[in-house]
Amino acid sequence: MDSLITAAALALAGGDPLGALDRVALREDPPALALRGIAMAQLGDLDRAKALLRRAARGFGPKEAVARARCVVAEAEIALVSRDLGWPAKALDAARATLEKHGDRLNAAHAGHLKVRRLLLIGRLDEAEDVLAGLDPAPLPPASRAAHELAVAGIAMRRLKTKPARRALE
């Protein structure tokens, strides 16, 4: 990974999408396209973000399965934010499996949580609960653990189980 890609990724992680775009705006290589897509999503241009992420995913070679999977997860997150519930859930499942296979536990867990959120939005509580039960929140960063507990609480509240909901929110 070259220094501009690294700097752009750090800028995105720090909440600076414009700083990331400054570093990769004119580049057309797949890592730059992916970072531009994420930056555009952070700026709210979701259609452009999806297009850039798709181009990036197509541009990664066969030995870059993890990078492709990360693009799929990012695109799924954009679809979820847009309330586009018709996106292919199988693609997210495949991306999650790829990430798990290659040891990217954080992004695999994120993909799992996206799947749970989608299932909750379409009213499939049993499936959401099953997926959630298979996710271990312990190694996740605090924000992801909080999202996990909110999903647990959401399911418990929908089922009118007040004690588990209260525990999840504590």
**Tens digit of pLDDT at every position of the chain (170 positions):** 689 999 999 999 999 999 999 999 999 999 999 999 999 999 999 999 999 999 999 999 889 999 999 999 999 999 999 999 888 899 999 999 999 999 999 999 999 999 999 999 999 999 999 999 999 888 788 988 898 899 988 888 888 887 877 787 77
For 113, the 3-state DSSP assignment is helix
Can you give the pLDDT at residue 21? 96
Task: Give the pLDDT confidence score for residue 88 in this predicted structure.
Answer: 85
CA 72 vs. chain centroid, Å, equals 8
CATH topology of domain 1-59: 1.25.40
- The ranges assigned to domains in the chain are 1-59
Cα-to-chain-centroid distance, residue 127: 19
Q: Whole-model pTM?
A: 0.88
